[in-house]
Amino acid sequence: MAIIETVELRKVFRSIVRSPGIAGAVRALFSREYEEKVAVDSVTMTLAEGELVGYLGPNGAGKSTTIKMLTGILVPTSGAIKVAGVVPHRNRQANAANIGVVFGQRSQLYWDLPLRESFELLRSIYDVPRDRYRQNMAHFSEILGLDEFMGTPVRQLSLGERMRGDFAAALLHDPKIVYLDEPTIGLDVEAKEAIREFVGRINRERGTTVILTTHDLADVERLSKRIILIDEGTVIYDGTLARLRTEYGTHRTLVVTLAETYEEFAVEGGEIESREGNIVKLRFNQRRLSAETMIRRLLDRYSVSDIAIIEPEIESIVRRIYREGYNESAVGSPS
Please give the residues from 171 up to 190 whose contact with another protein meets the rule CB under 8 A: none
Residue 136 or 253 with smaller CB distance to another protein: 136
What is the sign, positive or negative, of the torsion defined by CA atoms of 82, 84, 88, 91?
positive
Q: Which residues pair with 281 in a beta bridge?
A: 255, 274
Q: Is 58 in the site for another protein (CB under 8 A)?
A: no
Of 70-78, 199-207, 210-218, 245-253, the window that binds another protein (rule: CB under 8 A) is: 70-78
Show contacts of 327-334: CB within 8 Å, 24+ apart: 331/247, 331/248, 332/287, 334/250, 334/285, 334/287, 334/288
Say how far apart CA 28 and CA 34 lie, in whole Å.
10
Total number of residues that touch another protein (CB under 8 A) = 32
Residue 38 or 289 with smaller CB distance to another protein: 38
Choosing from 27, 89, 283, 297, the residue that interacts with another protein (CB under 8 A) is 89
Of 95-103, 207-215, 221-229, 250-258, the window that binds another protein (rule: CB under 8 A) is: 95-103
Q: Site map for another protein, 99-118, x if CB under 8 A?
A: x-x-x--x-x-x-xx---x-
Q: Identify the CA nearest to 115 among candidates 157, 178, 160.
A: 157
Q: Which residues pair with 210 in a beta bridge?
A: 52, 178
Q: Is 73 in the site for another protein (CB under 8 A)?
A: yes
Q: Site map for another protein, 127-146, x if CB under 8 A?
A: x-------------------
Let me know the angle formed at the C-alpha of 281 by 280 and 285, rounded to the nearest 5 degrees. 140
Q: Which one-letter amino acid corresponds to residue 59? A: N
Segment holding 97, helix H or strand E: helix 92-98
Q: Is 80 in the site for another protein (CB under 8 A)?
A: no
| Cβ partners under 8 Å of residue 34, min gap 6 | 14, 15, 16, 17
Q: Which one-letter amino acid corresponds to residue 160? A: G
Residue 110 or 265 with smaller CB distance to another protein: 110
CB 188 within 8 A of CB 30: no
Choosing from 48, 125, 266, 308, the residue that interacts with another protein (CB under 8 A) is 125
Q: Site map for another protein, 249-288, x if CB under 8 A?
A: ----------------------------------------
Residue 113 or 157 with smaller CB distance to another protein: 113
Read off φ and ψ for residue 84, nearest 5 degrees. Answer: 50, 40
Q: Is 32 in the site for another protein (CB under 8 A)?
A: no
Residue 89 or 206 with smaller CB distance to another protein: 89
Q: Is 68 in the site for another protein (CB under 8 A)?
A: yes
CA distances from 179 to 118, 139, 228, 311 (A): 20, 20, 14, 29
CB 29 within 8 A of CB 17: no
Residue 110 or 302 with smaller CB distance to another protein: 110
Please give the residues from 209 up to 228 whose contact with another protein meets the rule CB under 8 A: none
Q: At what angle do helices 189-206 and 159-171 cross, to 10 degrees?
A: 10
Of 24-32, 51-59, 93-101, 191-199, the window that binds another protein (rule: CB under 8 A) is: 93-101
Choosing from 51, 52, 55, 72, the residue that interacts with another protein (CB under 8 A) is 72
Distance from the first to the final alpha carbon of the chain: 39
Of 46-54, 85-93, 186-194, 303-311, the window that binds another protein (rule: CB under 8 A) is: 85-93
Q: Would you tell me which residues interact with another protein (CB under 8 A)?
A: 13-14, 39, 64-65, 68, 71-75, 89, 92-94, 96-97, 99, 101, 103, 106, 108, 110, 112-113, 117, 120-121, 124-127
